[in-house]
Amino acid sequence: MCQVMKPKPKLVLFVNFLLVSFITTNVAANSCYEGDDWLDAAYSTPRMSRYLPYLDCIRWSAFQFGLQDELLYSILDVEYGAVNLSCTVNRNRTQDCGISGINDVRLPELKDFDLTKADIKTPCKSIWSTAYLLHHEITHAEDFWTGVGNYHYKKSVGPKTHAIYVGKVRDSWLKLVEQFRSCS
């Protein structure tokens, strides 16, 4: 189970609800799962099964920050980070660490929670940190998708890189909804 960390006051993001409502009513259905069964099915696929042991962390982190489970799933799918407590080195010599590929330049933003580089390599703390950073970015962005993209790369710094990342997360989310969330 995830360790409880106290975030700064959270704002419930109504845009998440609207986005998921729009997506789930506008995508053709292939399967129908009751309640949260879709999560078990989605995380049982060959690509995502590595994250199945951390489903409670994913659910808790999404709940704690008012995010959709689908968003964290999509980030994990796009980042496809290591579950073996390692980091990968980028061309600019920064490092992406842990299960959700948190760049080590984001560590100052996590200092209020006493999280270290070693912490963001561990699966549950990496997931929780991702949810916190996503919530922070979405809350302070002009819109939902700008915030999602800012998790990876600030739009103001690199609009093209930002747009590519947003497209990957959106595509992953739509694919997830098409496969597991829609009911006909």
DSSP per-residue codes, 70-123: HHHHHHHHHH---SSS-EEE-TTS-EEETTTTEEGGGGGGGGGGT--HHHHHSH
Asked if 127 and 1 count as a contact pair (C-beta separation under 8 A), the reply is: no
For 52-181, CATH number out of 2.20.28, 1.10.530, 1.20.120, 2.40.50 equals: 1.10.530
Overall pTM surpassing 0.75 (yes/no): yes
Each residue of 93-107: pLDDT tens digit? Answer: 999 999 999 999 999
Each residue of 9-32: pLDDT tens digit? Answer: 333 333 333 343 343 333 333 456
pLDDT for the residue numbered 6 = 44
**Of 158 and 27, more confident:** 158
Residue boundaries of the structural domains of the chain? 52-181
Residue 182: band (very low, low, confident or very high) from pLDDT cuts 50, 70, 90: low
Mean pLDDT of 134-147: 96
